[in-house]
Chains A and B, each alone.
Chain A
């Protein structure tokens, strides 16, 4: 008996229409539609496309959760063994839809899923960490290459076989770093890599350098004497006892503390939770890291309008960028909601 496959495609590949039909609601058809004609033979009779789920790209974008739930329900009802979505090439909304249904089905039904996208498709960044994605070209001209690659990978998943080298080479990296033990120590690997680099031979770096977000500085505050100023620190200053248990390194949370009535951070009332520096001087006078005392002074002098009544704090030591980003977004939103005009960020 062959495995039962569900194929997800959009209105365009179903032959219903282009942009003008992008609002059509989901439709389920038995058997093959559109690219399924090419996909089904590539499954070698070991698996078969039983049903095709068709949805307009705009309809999907406006009803993501509902459509994903419909796909999940169909998978359960029709006893589907695997989901193939797309290929969506460089079609942004379609690619996002393919990623979303695959992620939902993988999570809810725990069956193999696959899609194929062009590396710059926005669906890649959204879903690469959650689902396997075959790298495709930017247009349907790449169908002939994407289809057999998807078929090969999904069949291996279904048969619980190891992926081969060519499977790995056509799958996009999830971007997850996994620890492993090499055969040689790091020093030997480094010198061997240098020898290759010097000879002009091919070498493989063990870590591709990341590309960073750069944040444009905001324009200066026009009138500080009317502005509400907040303070936020990655230096780990917390009330004594560290009530929110912020870790000394690799922080998983941040703290929010009201200090409306605090004029000065006193020794024994505030401490640092930070494990990356000698805590002696921060604990002796926590204002050294979070300068509440001088900010109260300039507030009194009228140089700033008001010091925001809450400060936010975390530990920057060995903390993953993804965590820092999530903290930053939440803190930023809270400050914006509180009509804060500017923030002083202190580190260590």
Chain B
């Protein structure tokens, strides 16, 4: 499967009469986009805001981040099961508005959502302080139940991302990246001297509201399966998550999975990257056993020598991570795990809820319990009162001078377990 990502570099958003792209700026027709989104009867109101790197703006609670993409050539449309039909994607050409993000917010499914500061110390912990953001503030209609609201909110993000990208199809790409995922028969023959490696991609599926969707299918209902990285780049995996903001994989990081990027970088040099296996993180023991066994069985069928395993979330999914680890290691497959830590505010507690001696190669995205003081910002987009009940906030989070004390847990992607950021931790 071959996919070209046509990357158009975006530095700025603006509002104007026609939605389109010029001079590194995406202009959006507010009325047109608002009308499109309000077709959803579950919504009472939509407000659009802009937030750029360095602005004195705090956005909270952010539910999802999405990168604007659409198909230029090839079968289907991005975000299959939502925007596109459910047929296979991942081939042809896809337009990427690189440097731009859609952030969805509003008082929806608090307490779990996240903070994005566009400047100051909090900005260092979120990659979305570095993107030009179109923020969609959603007001739901009374009486819509939470899981319906989550769906409505998810659709707002995806529709906006697709609408914007589709209006910029004539823009000339600054860079074209080609990704090829050959048929397995070829992949197995290639690079005979290099070790075969696969990626076990754990998807949050603890439900309720801890959901990930694959081609529109709830990931808790899947058996682990193979997927082409190019399908992921076309939005085959969508976040429906309302878990702690620090380590949920929002749709943006799925689209730009850095582990896949790093495996491609080393492919043909140090390793032969032959497969991506998606698996879930269900809550029952039977599901955990079944999924971990099945995922590692797929790795064995591929005949790989090594696996990178990424977790999503913390606590309960630590058990899935550990099962995946020891089942692989005891099958003779070497593993590296990516996780984050809940070591307490003083960093003195054990960081994981489960453990195995085989987990001797572990990358950490940092201690999510670490406290940070976020200074006041001139503008708040969203709903400030939610700060005290969002995960990572606490009663007393709001200080009189307008600053907030929170754990970095509350900051979007602060301890992302796809290894999206440079954040980590050490022992002293």
Contacts and interface: CB of A to CB of B under 8 A. Distances in A.
A219 interface: no
A190 B308 contact: yes
Interface in B392-428: 392-396, 407-409, 416-428
B356 A209 contact: yes
A206 B342 contact: no
B355 A198 contact: no
Contact of A278 (B147, B308, B393, B417): B147
Which 9 residue pairs are nearest across A and B when measured between Cβ atoms?
A186-B419, A320-B344, A187-B419, A278-B208, A249-B391, A187-B258, A210-B350, A245-B395, A177-B347
B392 A250 contact: yes
A179 B394 CA distance: 21
B345 to A, nearest CB: 7
Given A188-B258, A249-B244, A320-B342, A182 B395 contact: no
Interface string A238-251: 00000001011110
Nearest to A210: B350
B379 interface: no
Interface in A186-219: 186-191, 193-195, 197-198, 203, 205-212
Contacts of B336: 190-191, 193-194, 197
Interface string A308-328: 000000001111111100000
Interface string A246-269: 011110100000000000000000
Given A187-B261, A206-B363, A181 B266 contact: no
Given A275-B390, A322-B344, A189 B419 contact: yes
Contacts of B270: 195
B91 to A, nearest CB: 24
Contacts of B350: 210, 212, 321
Interface residues of B, number: 90
A250 B369 contact: yes
Interface in B173-200: 195, 197
B343 A318 contact: no
B145 interface: yes
B275 interface: no
A316 to B, nearest CB: 7
B363 A210 contact: no
Interface of A: 129, 173-191, 193-195, 197-198, 203, 205-212, 245, 247-250, 252, 275-281, 316-323
B62 interface: no
Contacts of B346: 176, 322
B384 interface: no
A195 B263 CA distance: 10
B246 to A, nearest CB: 9
Contacts of B257: 187
Interface centre among A183, A205, A280, A320 (most CB of B within 10 A): A320
Nearest to B389: A248
B310 to A, nearest CB: 8
